[in-house]
């Protein structure tokens, strides 16, 4: 999409997770995609009109790029192709979402900081803005579990269930531990905050480098031996906030 003009937008239903904005297709058609960016799990496409297209894949959404010759065939055969962007390059970007948990919105770029999905996001975990100090400030006074705090997008943006479990294991911290314990009463980082901020960065960098070949330390390894050298513990699974948490009670405190 980057650098291409959006010549036509086809909406094959009135909504995804929520309804499309009024005049959604008309506001997109004829505009050039200045770039394609990411904020947490949202895709942002700033447009020549001064608007920004916001998109989220949800649980089952995906994008595919089709040539102009194959686009019509896809539209006919796949009922889950809900949005089609036909571009000036001759390609079509097709959004497919069987469960329709995806999301699209169109807002003035200057209004992004006030957008309910974007404006409340915390720092990116691999950015310079995220460190032990930022993590401690966000967790200070929180009575929720450390696992729940890390899944809160206001604390750190885009960190998901798998890598929260992995980072907590690397840092040697229990997912059930109260979040406030990694910070002093005035919000300064304790040693646990330094370990956890470093662990979050390291597990994400490892996952990106290894792609689909990543080897998990605890996630989905219930009843297996802990991979921390010298631990000898056994990985357990429990449910927190409706999500599976994997941890080693032997070395995570």
CATH of the domain at 150: 1.10.8.50
pLDDT, mean of residues 183-199: 97
Is the pLDDT at 244 greater than 60? The verdict is yes
Is the pLDDT at 188 greater than 60? The verdict is yes
Percent of the chain exceeding pLDDT 70 equals 96
> Are residues 146 and 239 both part of a single domain?
yes
> Are residues 92 and 164 both part of a single domain?
no
Q: pLDDT (tens digit, 9 = 90+) per residue, 135-181?
A: 999 999 999 999 999 999 999 998 999 999 999 999 999 999 999 99
Q: pLDDT (tens digit, 9 = 90+) per residue, 110-133?
A: 999 999 999 999 999 999 999 999
Number of domains in the chain: 2
Higher pLDDT pick, 249 / 212: 249
Q: Which helix (H) or strand (E) holds 192?
A: helix 191-210
Looking at the DSSP bridge assignments, the partners of residue 53 are 45, 106
Question: What CATH number has the domain bearing residue 81?
Answer: 3.20.190.10
Cα–Cα nearest to 202, from 163, 172, 237: 163
Residue 51's φ and ψ, nearest 5 degrees, are: -95, 165
Higher pLDDT pick, 243 / 76: 243
Domain that holds residue 221: 132-247
Lowest mean pLDDT among 48-52, 72-76, 239-243: 72-76
User: Which residue pairs from 33-42 have beta carbons closer than 8 angstroms and sit at least 24 positions apart in sequence?
Assistant: 33/1, 33/2, 33/3, 33/4, 33/5, 33/6, 34/2, 34/3, 35/2, 36/1, 36/2, 39/118, 39/121, 39/124, 39/157, 40/121, 40/124, 40/153, 40/157, 40/158, 41/158, 41/160, 42/117, 42/118
> Are residues 98 and 152 both part of a single domain?
no
Whole-structure pTM value: 0.84
Q: What's the pLDDT score for residue 56?
A: 97
Question: Is 104 part of a structural domain of the chain?
Answer: yes
Question: Is 125 part of a structural domain of the chain?
Answer: no
């Amino acid at each position: 999409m980057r650098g291409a003009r959006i010549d036509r937008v086809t909406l094959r239903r009135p909504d995804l997770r929520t309804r499309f904005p009024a005049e959604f297709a008309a506001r997109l058609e004829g505009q050039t995609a200045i770039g394609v960016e990411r904020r947490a799990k949202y895709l942002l496409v700033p447009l020549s009109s001064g608007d920004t297209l916001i998109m989220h894949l949800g649980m089952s959404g995906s994008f595919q790029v089709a040539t102009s010759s194959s686009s019509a065939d896809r539209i006919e055969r796949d009922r889950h192709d809900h949005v089609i962007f036909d571009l000036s390059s001759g390609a079509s970007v097709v959004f497919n979402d069987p469960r329709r948990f995806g999301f699209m919105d169109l807002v003035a770029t200057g209004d992004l900081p006030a957008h309910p999905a974007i404006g409340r996001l915390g720092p990116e975990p691999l950015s310079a803005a995220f460190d032990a100090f930022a993590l401690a400030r966000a967790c200070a006074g929180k009575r929720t579990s450390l696992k729940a705090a890390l899944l809160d997008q206001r604390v750190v943006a885009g960190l998901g269930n798998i890598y929260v479990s992995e980072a907590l294991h690397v840092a040697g911290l229990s997912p059930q531990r109260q979040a406030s314990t990694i910070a002093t009463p005035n919000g300064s980082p304790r040693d646990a905050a330094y370990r956890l901020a470093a662990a979050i960065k390291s597990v994400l960098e490892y996952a990106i480098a290894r792609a689909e070949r990543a080897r998990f330390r605890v996630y989905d390894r219930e009843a297996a031996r802990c991979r921390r050298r010298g631990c000898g513990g056994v990985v357990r699974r429990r449910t927190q906030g409706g999500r599976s948490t994997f941890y080693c009670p032997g070395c995570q405190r």
